[in-house]
Structure 1
Amino acid sequence: MSIERIDPGPRMSQVVIHGDTVYLAGQVADDATLPAEGQMEQVLANIDRLLKKAGTDKSKLLSATVYVTDMAGDFESINKVWDAWIDRTNPPARAAVQAQLASKKWLVEVVAVAAR
């Protein structure tokens, strides 16, 4: 079975497709000066864009892991954005974890897997 890589870089690919499974690299906001809610909106827009490049969409998400730097302060606002974005007929399995991200400027990161 072939492996397809979309937007490969020196360290990672943004998307890896194996068979009919689409793996997304962790997505962070383009504008890290935004509050958590704004960062989450950008993260989800990036996920939509990458899923489209891979020939799929959020209705086919299988799982998502949401990494949040401040669960007590930002979890509610991040969930508000998620709830407005997600396909409620086809929600993925999801976990949310408080974590220190690669850069202190990022408040949220999402890793996702989808079917094609």
Structure 2
Amino acid sequence: MSITRIDMGPRMSQAVVHGSTVYLAGQVADEPKGKSVTEQTAQILGQIDRLLAAAGTDKSKILMATIYLTDIAGFAGMNAAWEPWVAQGNTPARATVEAKLVAPEYLVEIAVIAAV
């Protein structure tokens, strides 16, 4: 079975397709400084759309999402962007946890696994 790597860098790939499954690396906002959890989430969801399209799939095929928030108090703000974006009738399994992220300006990080 082949493996395809998308947006591969020296440390990691942004997406890896193996068989009929695509694994996305945790996505953070490109320009997080001064942005709210809702704004960062919306930016991340756009990145997820782009990576899924590059892998030949879309958000309706997401199987699992893991969402990391630096402060769980941002849960409602994250959902304000997530709920209108997620494919209704095809909502994935999901876990949301509070975690310290790589830099203080990042408020949210999202990783997904999807079918191709």
Displacement of 1:4 after TM fit?
0.6
For the aligned residues, what is the CA RMSD?
0.6
% same residue: 56
Unaligned runs of 5+ in 1: none
Using structure 1 for the length normalisation, give the TM-score: 0.97
1:7 and 1:43 map into 2 onto residues whose CA distance is 15
Residue 46 of structure 1 deviates from its aligned partner by 0.2
Q: Which residue of 2 aligns with 1:53?
A: 54
* Cross-structure match for 2:71: 70
Q: Report the counterpart of residue 113 of structure 1 in structure 2.
A: 113
Could you report, residue by residue, the CA deviation over 1:12-67 in whole angstroms, capped at 9, with x for unpaired residues? 00010000000000000011121111000000000000000000000000000000
Q: Per the alignment, in what secondary structure is the counterpart of residue 75 of structure 2?
A: helix
Q: What SS is found at the alignment partner of 1:114?
A: strand
Q: Runs ≥4 in structure 1, deviation > 6 angstroms?
A: none
TM-score of the two chains, using structure 2 as the length reference = 0.97
Which digits, 9 at most, give the CA deviation of each residue in 1:60-104, with x for residues without a partner? Answer: 0000000000112x1101111100100011000000000000111
Counterpart residue identity of residue 92, structure 2:
P
Equivalent residue for 1:93?
93
Unaligned runs of 5+ in 2: none
Size of the aligned set, in residue pairs, is 115
